[in-house]
Amino acid sequence: MGKLARVDSSWTLFLDRDGVINERVFGGYILNYEDFLFKKGVLETSKELFGKFARVIVVTNQQCVSKGLISIDALSLLHQKMVQDFQDAGARIDHVYAAIEGKDKAPFMRKPNSKMAELAQKEFPEIDFNKSIMVGDTDGDLNFGKNLGMKTVLIRSEEIISVGPDLELDQLGDLIEFI
């Protein structure tokens, strides 16, 4: 397979969290950092991969907050620890956006809605969605990227997918050879 895109330092990498960065708990939620397990190779390849992009943005649906399973402060702390682990590995995450409402509840931040990407572009005006890649493991992630004109990458999992991505991979670090 050829290149997904000719990425340069003007591109943005959008990443889903559960199933892409960390092991996803099917039928459950990550509620504390002790249960946050990075997927194989993610930290080890993050410096090289993330370094190819102007921005690295995490966009994650976390309805566990609206369900009262975790507070917004506890979720923010979990994300701060994740970002610090990436920094310790020599990689950077520019921002983490979390949609905390339940499915089909206002303010409709959840993927596939584009609100988290719009917030990222407002904070980082240089973001061009046509020069962005969205990496996820669900139809919602792929539709989020496709609806905005991004290249889409599926990280394979148990999830049943009906949306065709531009590229399918077993792990995030494999993206390096396609950009």
Give the catalytic positions in this structure.
Answer: 16, 18
Within a 13 Å sphere around the CA of 28, how many CA atoms are in the beta-carbon half? 8
Write the CA distances from 65 to 25, 50, 108, 110, 144, integer angstroms. 16, 28, 14, 13, 21
Pick from 16, 21, 2: which is nearest to 152 by CA? 16
Write the CA distances from 20 to 56, 123, 128, 147, 155, integer angstroms. 13, 24, 22, 20, 6
Report the SS3 class of residue 85.
helix
Radius of gyration, alpha carbons of the chain: 15
Query: 12 phi and psi, to 5 degrees?
Result: -120, 140
Q: Which two tokens stand for residue 11?
A: 């591109």
